Amino acid sequence: MLTLPETVDVHAKAAHAKATLSRTPLRLVVSAMLAGMWIGIGDVLMWSAAGPLHVDGNPFEKLVAGSVFAAALTIVVFAGSELATSAMMILPLGAVRRTISWLRAGGVLLGIFFANMLGAFAFAWVIIQTGILGHGPAGEFAVDTLAGKIAHTPAELFWRGVMCNVLVCVAIWAAARLKNEVAKAVIIFWGVLAFIASGFEHVVANMTTFAIGLLSGGDVTWGDFATNMTFVGLGNLVGGAIVIGFAYAYVAGRFSRADAAGAEALVEEPEPVVANAEADFASASSR
């Protein structure tokens, strides 16, 4: 298992790899669109598997929903793609350790965020064409999920977003410390189960939920979508960057800029251009 200081530096290198990938913007966009699709698949899987339980009011609904949604982040990690919520922890750590600038960190994060959204909308259009959510328990669960997100106040959305990314990013953080792929998958499973079963808000998962409602003519407006993206996104940023990233960097004694030589040493070995946060830590932590 990596030490805490080593884990900070793994993520700082991952931030540099993201910045490198952003020099070929189309490749970054495609990678992030794939992540938007994988998270969308988690939504559809959750509605399909837990829909009958939701309709019946079964108390095991949240447990089943969280268990199956874990497939989404697991695929993102092991297949490799750029996800905004994990980037919210990794890119600020790179800026703190001076492997990238704060300006570059912000620019890359925004690029990943909107490319995730593009992937989610493309995926949502395909799902609408399949008709699998047009009727039955899965469709009812999807409609109720969207209605619930619209009903939340901005403050509720923000704090649910904070808690969601605390759990997502602690799973990413802990997985970076581990050298065994099975162990990585297990910690990711528990982090995702916790946030779904608790009812917290993940901005990328919400992209697909709202996209299906908007594209299918559901009872939702673009204003509802913008409100959710803004407050959940800000909450996810606070949860990932501050509660997990900055807090663990401080505990590890790495909450400061590396000097010029130290920053250069962190990135002296070029990462593959197709690198992403999850693949970066998987390879680095197994060395």
> Rounded to whole angstroms, how far apart are CA atoms 4 and 212?
41
Do 127 and 133 form a contact (C-beta atoms < 8 A)? Answer: yes
* pLDDT higher than 80, residue 283: no
Q: What is the pLDDT of residue 284?
A: 43
Q: What is the mean pLDDT of residues 99-119?
A: 97
Do 209 and 224 form a contact (C-beta atoms < 8 A)? Answer: no
Res. 254 pLDDT band, cuts 50 70 90: confident
> Rounded to whole angstroms, how far apart are CA atoms 151 and 41?
24
**What is the token pair recorded at 208?**
């697909």
- Exposure of 164 by Cβ count < 10 A (0-12 exposed, 13-18 middle, 19+ buried)? buried
pLDDT tens profile 162-208: 999 999 999 999 999 999 999 999 999 999 999 999 999 999 999 99
C-alpha angle 164-247-155 in degrees, rounded to nearest 5: 40
**What is the token pair recorded at 12?**
């700082």
Q: What is the mean pLDDT of residues 200-229?
A: 97
281 or 156: which carries more pLDDT confidence? 156
Q: What is the pLDDT of residue 262?
A: 56
Do 193 and 66 form a contact (C-beta atoms < 8 A)? Answer: yes
Give the per-residue SS3 of the chain: CCCHHHHHHHHHHHHHHHHHHCCCHHHHHHHHHHHHHHHHHHHHHHHHHHHHHHHHCCCCHHHHHHHHHHHHHHHHHHHHCCCHHHHHHHHHHHHHCCCCCHHHHHHHHHHHHHHHHHHHHHHHHHHHHHCCCCCHHHHHHHHHHHHHHHHCCHHHHHHHHHHHHHHHHHHHHHHHHCCCHHHHHHHHHHHHHHHHHHCCCCHHHHHHHHHHHHHCCCCCCHHHHHHHHHHHHHHHHHHHHHHHHHHHHHHCCCCCCCCHHHHHHHCCCCCCCCCCHHHHHHHHCCC
Query: In Å, how far from its chain's centre is CA 260?
Result: 31
Q: What is the pLDDT of residue 84?
A: 97
Q: What is the pLDDT of residue 38?
A: 98
Q: What is the pLDDT of residue 65?
A: 96
